[in-house]
Amino acid sequence: MNLETVKRVKKSKPFTVIDAVIVAVLAALIGVISWLVFRAPSAETVVITENGVSHEYSLGKNAEIKLEHMTVHIKDGYVWVTDSDCRDGTCEHTGKISRAGQSIVCLPNNFVITINGKGDLDWELGRQ
């Protein structure tokens, strides 16, 4: 390194053809990532299934749904459960879910909440 590198930098050009290629590749990558990230929230629904009966709610619309065994909150794109009367409280411990494919399950009450959506972002990013 040292002076040789300085010499090489001094002789080099401010921009090269390879730079342009790299910039194009990075711009495409950014485009793909933003497409994945931003299309996800469109038309996502929260499906609450209790004893085999399903009700659908919009993830985009804030709501507080009081059910027999618990309260389901939908707020700012997040879904979570409070006031569960079952003793293991798994549904409450699941915390807040917000992405298509995530779910909150309560086995004792035969109760499932899932978020459905067209954009399976979680699958594409290798998460569940």
Partner 1 sequence: MKKLPLSKSVCMKPAGAPKRGERNDTRRLTAIAFLVAVALVVSLIESALPSFPLAPGAKLGLSNIAPLFALIMLGVGDAYAVMILKCLLGATLGGGLTGLMYSVPSGLVSLTVEIVLMKLVFDKMSVAGISLVGAVAFNAMQVLMASAITGVDLVILLPILMAAGLLAGAFTGLLTYYIVKKLPYSVYGSAVG
Question: 15 vs 52, which CB is nearer to partner 1?
Answer: 15
Question: 23 vs 107, which CB is nearer to partner 1?
Answer: 23
22 forms part of the interface with partner 1 (CB under 8 A): yes
1 forms part of the interface with partner 1 (CB under 8 A): yes
| Half-sphere CA count of 3, side-chain side, radius 13 A | 0
**DSSP summary character for residue 4:** H
- Closest separation between CB of residue 27 and partner 1, Å? 7
Block residue for tokens 């730079």: 19
CB 91 within 8 A of CB 111: yes
- Closest separation between CB of residue 39 and partner 1, Å? 12
Closest to 49 (Cα-Cα) out of 22, 77, 72: 72
43 forms part of the interface with partner 1 (CB under 8 A): no
Element (H, E) at 35: helix 17-39
Binders of partner 1 among 65-124, rule CB under 8 A?
A: 98-99
CB 106 within 8 A of CB 89: no
Question: 49 vs 102, which CB is nearer to partner 1?
Answer: 102
Per-residue tokens: 32: 């793909």
- Can you give the binding site for partner 1, defined by CB under 8 A? 1-3, 5-6, 8-10, 12-16, 18-19, 22-23, 26-27, 29-31, 33-34, 37-38, 98-99, 125
